[in-house]
A and B are shown apart, each in its own frame.
Chain A
Amino acid sequence: MMKDLIDRRDFIKTFSIIAGSSMLAGSMPWLKTVNAQETGKVVRLGIIGTGSRGMHLHLFLKDIPDLDICCICDDYEPNLQAAQAAVGPKARAYTDYRIMLEKEKPDAVVIATPLYEHAHMTIDALKAGIHVFCEKSMAKTYEDCNEMVKTHLSTGKILYIGHQRLFNIKFQQAYKMIREGKLGNITQIRAFWHRNNDWRRPVPSPDLERKINWRMYHEYSCGLMTELASHHIQVANQIYNEHPECVWGSGSINYWKDGREVNDNVNLVYKYPCKSHLVYDSLISNKHYGLEVQVQGPQGTMELESGKMWEEFPPPAPGILQLINNLEHKVFDVIPIGGASWVPDSAVNDKGQYIINKVLEDDGTKMQMEAFVADVRNNRVDSEITKQGFHSTIATLMGFNAIMNNEIVYWPEGLVM
């Protein structure tokens, strides 16, 4: 099946249809923002954390009209220099984000720093009256996440957590179809994220190991859980339309025994109040299966990363359907074959159907950054998107704790939006 590239107009139209669906009853308010193409008022934005992720986000920010990337900040000189070259000399460079916030007073900041720094940077920015886009996961502890949410609510400032699948048209179209009952009630979600590399970055000198490879150490990161799993947990939460009630699991270091502290494989089962589960695993010693989210219901299956679906009971050919009807009604009659829809040797599509029959260039990141800037420009505060990030991070940290403490971990009381 050939697919055409989706153009922006088609994209916006499809998003509008999804966002406007009565079935979803406005449960995805952030999609409405995607339509907003307002320009005029210049938004002044700072980037805190100019490593690989921060610069990846810059690729999308730089093309947004009337956006002035006025300042950048990083405490690692090589990254700051590279960012200065990419963003241009007009952006003022800082090594301390507090000084940058105070001096520049930008309208908004993008925070793409290591996980352990998300909370205090976000809280400081919000308290300074600055809107925040913070990369996922939200923070490293329940308490930090809760403080971030409280500050977002008390200051009335925007807080986006970077879950780009919320802006991925394929995922959101699938979500709409699921809510419309295409698969029946969802009875299981399986998700996995597999890679085959050591997940390390090159270190110029040994004293920079922990700074550069912060993902390897518990002091800064929760490893595969906060860096990869949180994306698929967010997707599962959205599909079940609730957060999990508990999780159990296990993990270990069984391959990359190189001094790292975080597990190189994790396996978890999340139980949701609807009695269905998310079965999740991640490893970095085999990439054969890649990444996928498999959503299963009595009527069908969807694979969201590849954007495909299969019906459990595809309708039989017309003649066969008539035969089945006759059998059910105890009627002996002619079985019609070769009817109007018949084509000799017609191929069946056993490779599934596409959820969206278009090639997508954007995995949601571009649209997410545009939506954030549009919200900042119009001072539109949408707590639903904060909630998605908050609940996915709490569930992610529950999974991490379940593995670390070898116990069933229940949703922490009171931590809901």
Chain B
Amino acid sequence: MGTRIDIILPGCDDESADSICLRLQHELKRTEEKISIYIPESDFSIINKLAFNKPVKTDEEIFDLLDEVIRLSEKTHGFFDFTLGRLLKLIQEDTSLLSDEKKLGDLIQKTGTRYIKLDRKLHTISVTSDLVSIDSGGFGKGFGLDLVKNIMKDTKIYSYFISFGESSILACGSHPYGNSWKTGIRNIFKEDEYICSFEMRDEFLSVSGITPQNLKKFGTGHIINPVNGKPVARLLHAAVKGKNGLATEALSTALIVAPEEHRDMLMKEFTDCSAVIFEYDENNNAKIIYQKTI
């Protein structure tokens, strides 16, 4: 999943911790080999390569995952869109596309989950637009954390804190000296400044956002607005806490691209989620521009 994983198991003896970590590592590696688009033999790479020409048969796990992320895309009214990888690449290769609204508009029309067809009877996936490619980067870590939570149910560890690159977190039970796990989102420019915090207990936290590094690396943001096809160029961040890994990932991405007037509507679809949206200004100050807690 292209990220580092930190696993904190308070009070767990070394032998059990090693055994749990190995099990998690094995499961996550297995999953990565199926969903990473950077592994040419992964299920998603094969779907991206072949499914436009003919239906690709897949196993139940991948089928159900795709079914779920399509459902989440619909639930976010299309603002969470994982089909834009090929379009982003086109834009990164030729940034003049950004000034050609007509062309960009035509291209964005050829993306979206509506072009992905699932045949549950035959367990096949088809893609009906050649511009659609599945990008697991927007939901892979959420899926991974959901798997981790399932595996951890089998262990006798009830309190733990697991971080995928500090942007996707699962915190279960509580800190040994508190009633929950308190996480604070720091200003990326000012180490000592907290922007907001979340109390977590058996919950997931997903942080999505555009950093100066993203803009520098690609020349544009890495999250595309599925309405107009333009990458988000503002230093916007969304932090979402919820009960499900995939859903918090989807919602945090959707909140980055959704217009202001759609945010409440989105939050109504995810009644078990809390969210904070903030933006950095030119002086590196972070300002909270939206907040919804349950």
Question: Can you show 5 pairs from A to B with CB atoms below 8 A apart?
Answer: A317-B6, A334-B197, A337-B169, A337-B183, A340-B191
Q: Is the CB of A332 within 8 A of B175?
A: yes
Contact of A206 with B by CB under 8 A: no
Q: Which of B177, B178, B188 contacts A338 (CB 8 A)?
A: B188
Q: Which of A316, A334, A339, A345 contacts B191 (CB 8 A)?
A: A339
Known contacts A334-B182, A345-B137; can you find 12 more A-B pairs with CB under 8 A?
A314-B4, A319-B163, A327-B8, A327-B10, A337-B185, A338-B209, A339-B186, A340-B186, A340-B190, A342-B166, A344-B207, A344-B211
A344 to B213, CA, bound (A): 9
Q: Is the CB of A323 within 8 A of B3?
A: no
A: contact size bracket: 20 to 34
A377 → chain B closest CB, angstroms: 51
B213: nearest chain-A partner, CB-CB: A343
* Listed residue (A317, A323, A333, A344) with the most chain B CB atoms within 10 angstroms of its CB: A344
A344: nearest chain-B partner, CB-CB: B167
A42 to B167, CA, bound (A): 65
Q: Is the CB of B191 within 8 A of A348?
A: no
When distances are taken between beta carbons in the complex, the residues of chain B under 8 Å from A343 are 211, 213-214
Q: Is the CB of A320 within 8 A of B166?
A: yes
Q: Is the CB of B6 within 8 A of A337?
A: no
Contact of B165 with A by CB under 8 A: yes
Q: Is the CB of A320 within 8 A of B163?
A: yes
Contact of A336 with B by CB under 8 A: yes
B163: nearest chain-A partner, CB-CB: A320
Q: Which of B181, B189, B205 contacts A340 (CB 8 A)?
A: B189
A412 to B194, CA, bound (A): 68
When distances are taken between beta carbons in the complex, the residues of chain B under 8 Å from A330 are 176-177
Q: Is the CB of B163 within 8 A of A348?
A: no
B224 → chain A closest CB, angstroms: 15
Q: Is the CB of A344 within 8 A of B8?
A: no
Q: How many residues of B contact A (CB 8 A)?
A: 40
Interface residues of A (CB under 8 A from B): 314, 316-317, 319-320, 323-324, 327, 330-340, 342-348
A352 → chain B closest CB, angstroms: 14
When distances are taken between beta carbons in the complex, the residues of chain A under 8 Å from B214 are 343-344
A323 to B6, CA, bound (A): 11
A334 to B165, CA, bound (A): 17
Q: Is the CB of B8 within 8 A of A324?
A: yes
Q: Is the CB of A335 within 8 A of B183?
A: yes
When distances are taken between beta carbons in the complex, the residues of chain A under 8 Å from B161 are 323, 335
When distances are taken between beta carbons in the complex, the residues of chain B under 8 Å from A339 are 166, 186-188, 191
A343 → chain B closest CB, angstroms: 5
When distances are taken between beta carbons in the complex, the residues of chain A under 8 Å from B189 are 340
A323: nearest chain-B partner, CB-CB: B8
Contact of B259 with A by CB under 8 A: no
Q: Which of B185, B187, B205, B208 contacts A344 (CB 8 A)?
A: B208
Q: Is the CB of B182 within 8 A of A335?
A: yes
Contact of B2 with A by CB under 8 A: yes
The 5 closest A-B pairs by CB, nearest first: A332-B178, A334-B184, A348-B4, A339-B186, A332-B177
Q: Is the CB of A347 within 8 A of B209?
A: no
Q: Is the CB of A335 within 8 A of B165?
A: no
A98 to B208, CA, bound (A): 78
B181 → chain A closest CB, angstroms: 7
Q: Is the CB of B182 within 8 A of A333?
A: yes
A312 → chain B closest CB, angstroms: 13
A340: nearest chain-B partner, CB-CB: B191
* Listed residue (A332, A335, A336, A343) with the most chain B CB atoms within 10 angstroms of its CB: A335
A56 to B217, CA, bound (A): 45
A16 to B54, CA, bound (A): 61
Q: Is the CB of B165 within 8 A of A331?
A: no
Q: Is the CB of B165 within 8 A of A344?
A: yes
Q: Is the CB of B177 within 8 A of A345?
A: no
A242 to B5, CA, bound (A): 40
A338 to B177, CA, bound (A): 23
Give chain B interface residues in 200-238, CB to chain A under 8 Å: 205, 207-209, 211, 213-214, 222, 237
A340 to B8, CA, bound (A): 22
A390 → chain B closest CB, angstroms: 44
When distances are taken between beta carbons in the complex, the residues of chain B under 8 Å from A319 are 163, 166, 186
A254 to B176, CA, bound (A): 59
Given contacts A323-B8, A334-B194, contact A317 B163 (CB under 8 A): yes
A224 to B265, CA, bound (A): 73
A342 to B187, CA, bound (A): 10
When distances are taken between beta carbons in the complex, the residues of chain B under 8 Å from A333 are 182
Q: Is the CB of B167 within 8 A of A338?
A: yes
B165 → chain A closest CB, angstroms: 6
A62 → chain B closest CB, angstroms: 44
A59 to B112, CA, bound (A): 61
A122 → chain B closest CB, angstroms: 53
A317: nearest chain-B partner, CB-CB: B166
Q: Which of B165, B187, B209, B239 contacts A346 (CB 8 A)?
A: B165
A336 to B166, CA, bound (A): 9
B222 → chain A closest CB, angstroms: 8
When distances are taken between beta carbons in the complex, the residues of chain A under 8 Å from B176 are 327, 330
Given contacts A334-B194, A344-B207, contact A320 B178 (CB under 8 A): no
Q: Which of A320, A344, A347 contacts B6 (CB 8 A)?
A: A320
A348: nearest chain-B partner, CB-CB: B4
A204 to B238, CA, bound (A): 76
When distances are taken between beta carbons in the complex, the residues of chain B under 8 Å from A324 are 8
Given contacts A330-B177, A331-B177, A332-B175, contact A337 B166 (CB under 8 A): yes
B289 → chain A closest CB, angstroms: 17
When distances are taken between beta carbons in the complex, the residues of chain B under 8 Å from A346 are 3-4, 165
Give chain B interface residues in 49-104, CB to chain A under 8 Å: none
B232 → chain A closest CB, angstroms: 12
Given contacts A317-B166, A327-B10, contact A340 B188 (CB under 8 A): yes
A106 to B182, CA, bound (A): 79
A216 to B197, CA, bound (A): 72
B175: nearest chain-A partner, CB-CB: A332
A343: nearest chain-B partner, CB-CB: B213
Q: Is the CB of A347 within 8 A of B186?
A: no
A381 to B183, CA, bound (A): 65
A344 to B210, CA, bound (A): 8
Q: Is the CB of B165 within 8 A of A345?
A: yes
